[in-house]
Amino acid sequence: MDEVSRKTFLLFGDSLTQRSFDEGGWGGRLASAYQRKADVIARGYSGYNTRWAAYTLEKIFTKGHVPPDLVTIFFGANDAALPDRLNGRQHVPIEEYVAHLRAFVEHIRSVGTKHIILITPPPVDETVRVQENQQKVGGEQEAAMLPERTNAVAGEYAKAVKQLGEELGIPVVDLWSNIQMQPLWQACLSDGLHFTSTGNAAVYHLVQAKINEALPHLRPDALSMDFPGHADIDASSPDSAFKGTAIS
Amino acid sequence: MDEVSRKTFLLFGDSLTQRSFDEGGWGGRLASAYQRKADVIARGYSGYNTRWAAYTLEKIFTKGHVPPDLVTIFFGANDAALPDRLNGRQHVPIEEYVAHLRAFVEHIRSVGTKHIILITPPPVDETVRVQENQQKVGGEQEAAMLPERTNAVAGEYAKAVKQLGEELGIPVVDLWSNIQMQPLWQACLSDGLHFTSTGNAAVYHLVQAKINEALPHLRPDALSMDFPGHADIDASSPDSAFKGTAIS
């Protein structure tokens, strides 16, 4: 859109990405950390698994267009829904999930994006999920007595992401493990699945730490601001700071 | 960057725009309201007045590039700094301020952007500004005994923006007046100048109300989401919802 030398970070995922600009969200926190340095843009699709997201890929990452400098790929919370429970329609078997992630990485690299971060699904608070399901379909229904996602299964999907990252040489944010290391990790989740402000802060800090460690040239302090800081402008002769002329 | 049919909203301004993605910020709130509908991007430059922002204009809004669908222009808080006080270097006389705003509108229209919203500077809490200045330069210094910005002068700049908006047929968000209509309006400002979360919420709601009223086709509920909602996808035959094929 413009000639300003900003990076573009694109967040690709499900509702955990779609909602990442809600108050306290990890996308907004990233945008704040990268103000005047990178535009942070969400391509998050609530309820989507990787099978459905595969349909969006070529339209989001289009050959011949300017590619994002960094892409986060964050799916699995829906793929890991159990096939024989509520939300079974979202289930994608783990082998197919990994195959889709692999195809996403391949395609995103093919359009010219050099840096990708994989994010594992977060843990699941099964007790709260059952409460949520009971509210949704009524407490007596058999389907609502069991969680539609389990923490153990989410952990298997997370493990598969870690393996894929190692295989492809892509940094992985292991949300599933790291969030559970926090005391009272359940406070990171609002409905057992989506993030509270605390959870969003954790996601942001984990993603930022991964950038800092694995992609140090994309650290916020490694990038320069677009246009001079105002204190560097000589008020009596602003031309010199901007090395150009003003429109007037 | 991609072929997804999202709008782009660009926020052009000073620190009140640069910081708009900080926690609870009005830019982040706008991004949340427009999730899957518009990308909201900040081009905010802390400390800048319109004289300095004029240097950035052609690089931010470049002929031949895809223009933003909506641009907010939000300057004046620094232009209205008093010339003979602390921060006098930021002062721009009101006539010159208006001339720059007029040039900004003209240039932004010339690159193809159809919709512009002007935002007036917010009110100033002079008592808090004096406290801030005293902290900055020491309480005994004469320069710190008087506010470097006054609410009355900010009001003159705000009035000038309103007149320009009427003349050019551009919607104006009159922050200066509307924030002061709130009981305890000082709670909208953290340091007498920048927004608290309460202030940011007010700015977001005023901008959103102006879009809804003056540009109803850009209301969030008037725009369609990119890609189908997940409940509209037939899990046994997703092709039909996407009218296309998946990458795999």
A228 inside domain: yes
Structural domains of chain B, count: 1
Q: Which residue from A2, A42, A100 is facing B61, i.e. has the nearest CB?
A: A2
Residue with tokens 């949704």, as numbered in its chain: A136
Separation CA B67–CA A168 (nearest Å): 37
Lowest mean pLDDT among A3-7, A128-132, A230-234: A3-7
Nearest C-alpha neighbor of B235 from the set A193, A44, A74, A47: A47
Q: Please classify residue B32 by burial: count the beta carbons closer than 10 Å to its beta carbon, then call 0-12 exposed, 13-18 middle and 19+ buried.
A: buried
Over residues B158-165, the mean pLDDT reads 98
* Residues 6 or more apart whose Cβ sits within 8 Å of residue A147: A85, A124, A126, A129, A130, A133, A192
What residues of B are labeled active site? 15
Residues of B in contact with A45 (CB under 8 A): 36, 227, 230
Write out the two tokens for A179: 């969030």
For residue B130, the surrounding DSSP H or E stretch is helix B126-137
Over residues B168-197, the mean pLDDT reads 96
How confident is the model at residue B146, as a pLDDT?
A: 86
Over residues B100-118, the mean pLDDT reads 98
Lowest mean pLDDT among A137-141, B27-31, B79-83, B152-156: A137-141
Three-state helix/strand/coil letters over A13-78 = ECHHHHHHHCCCCHHHHHHHHCCCCEEEEEEECCCCCHHHHCCCHHHHCCCCCCCCCEEEEECCCC
A247 inside domain: no
Over residues B26-31, the mean pLDDT reads 98
Q: Could you tell me what percent of chain A has a pLDDT over 90?
A: 81
Cα angle vertex B68, ends B205, B207, to 5°? 10
Over residues B197-214, the mean pLDDT reads 98
User: CB–CB of A151/A193 below 8 Å?
Assistant: no
How confident is the model at residue B1, as a pLDDT?
A: 45
Q: What is the pLDDT of residues B218-239, one digit of tens each?
A: 999 999 999 999 999 999 999 9
How confident is the model at residue B133, as a pLDDT?
A: 86
List % helix, strand, coil for chain B (3-state, nearest 5). 50, 10, 40
Give the residue from chain B lying closest to A3, CA to CA.
Answer: B59
Over residues A70-97, the mean pLDDT reads 94
Separation CA A157–CA A152 (nearest Å): 9
Three-state helix/strand/coil letters over B35-60 = CCCEEEEEEECCCCCHHHHCCCHHHH
Over residues A84-91, the mean pLDDT reads 89
User: CB–CB of A60/A43 below 8 Å?
Assistant: yes
B248 inside domain: no
CA atoms within 13 A on the CB side of A88: 8
Buried b (16+ CB within 10 A) or exposed e, A145-182: eebbbbbebbbebbebbbebbeeeebbbbbbbebbeee
Separation CA B22–CA B16 (nearest Å): 10
* Confidence band for B137, pLDDT divided at 50, 70 and 90: confident
User: CB–CB of A207/A26 below 8 Å?
Assistant: yes
Residues of A in contact with B90 (CB under 8 A): 230, 235
Residue with tokens 């699995």, as numbered in its chain: A76
Q: Give which of A56, A204, A232 to mutate to test B binding, by max B Cβ within 10 Å.
A: A56
User: CB–CB of A91/A157 below 8 Å?
Assistant: no
Asked whether residue B140 carries a pLDDT value surpassing 80, the answer given is: no
User: CB–CB of B168/B102 below 8 Å?
Assistant: yes
Closest-CA distance, A181 to chain B, in angstroms, reads 25
How confident is the model at residue A143, as a pLDDT?
A: 72
Asked whether residue A14 carries a pLDDT value surpassing 50, the answer given is: yes
How confident is the model at residue A100, as a pLDDT?
A: 98
* Confidence band for B2, pLDDT divided at 50, 70 and 90: low
Q: What is the pLDDT of residues A54-76, one digit of tens each?
A: 999 999 999 989 999 999 999 99
Distance of CA A99 to the CA centre of its chain: 19
- For chain B, the C-alpha Rg in angstroms (whole number) is 20
Mean pLDDT over the full length of chain A: 93
Give the residue from chain A lying closest to B41, CA to CA.
Answer: A39
Residue with tokens 């979202």, as numbered in its chain: A90
* Confidence band for B244, pLDDT divided at 50, 70 and 90: low
* Confidence band for A1, pLDDT divided at 50, 70 and 90: very low
* Confidence band for B247, pLDDT divided at 50, 70 and 90: low
Separation CA B247–CA B189 (nearest Å): 49
Asked whether residue B248 carries a pLDDT value surpassing 70, the answer given is: no
Q: Could you tell me what percent of chain B has a pLDDT over 90?
A: 81
Q: Give which of B19, B52, B197, B245 to mutate to test A binding, by max A Cβ within 10 Å.
A: B52
Which residues does residue A72 pair with via DSSP β-bridges, in sequence order?
Answer: A11, A117
Supply the DSSP string of A116-158, one letter for each residue.
EEEEPPPP--HHHHHHHHHHHH-TT-GGGGS-SS-HHHHHHHH
B2 inside domain: no
Check if A243 contacts B (Cβ < 8 Å).
Answer: no
Torsion A52-A53-A54-A55 (CA) sign: positive
Domain span at B127: 7-242
User: CB–CB of B132/B179 below 8 Å?
Assistant: no
ipTM score of complex: 0.94
A214 inside domain: yes
At residue A44, φ and ψ (nearest 5 deg) are -110, 140
Closest-CA distance, B65 to chain A, in angstroms, reads 5
How long, in residues, is chain B? 248
**Residue A227: which CATH number?**
3.40.50.1110
How confident is the model at residue A3, as a pLDDT?
A: 56
A201 inside domain: yes
Over residues A111-138, the mean pLDDT reads 92
Asked whether residue B141 carries a pLDDT value surpassing 80, the answer given is: no
How confident is the model at residue B53, as a pLDDT?
A: 97
Nearest C-alpha neighbor of A51 from the set A18, A16, A76, A68: A76
Check if A43 contacts B (Cβ < 8 Å).
Answer: yes
Asked whether residue A203 carries a pLDDT value surpassing 80, the answer given is: yes
A147 inside domain: yes
B33 inside domain: yes
Q: Which residue from A8, A18, A247 is facing B1, i.e. has the nearest CB?
A: A8
* Confidence band for B148, pLDDT divided at 50, 70 and 90: confident
How confident is the model at residue A244, as a pLDDT?
A: 66
- Contact (CB<8Å) A31/B42: yes
* Confidence band for B85, pLDDT divided at 50, 70 and 90: confident
Distance of CA B104 to the CA centre of its chain: 14
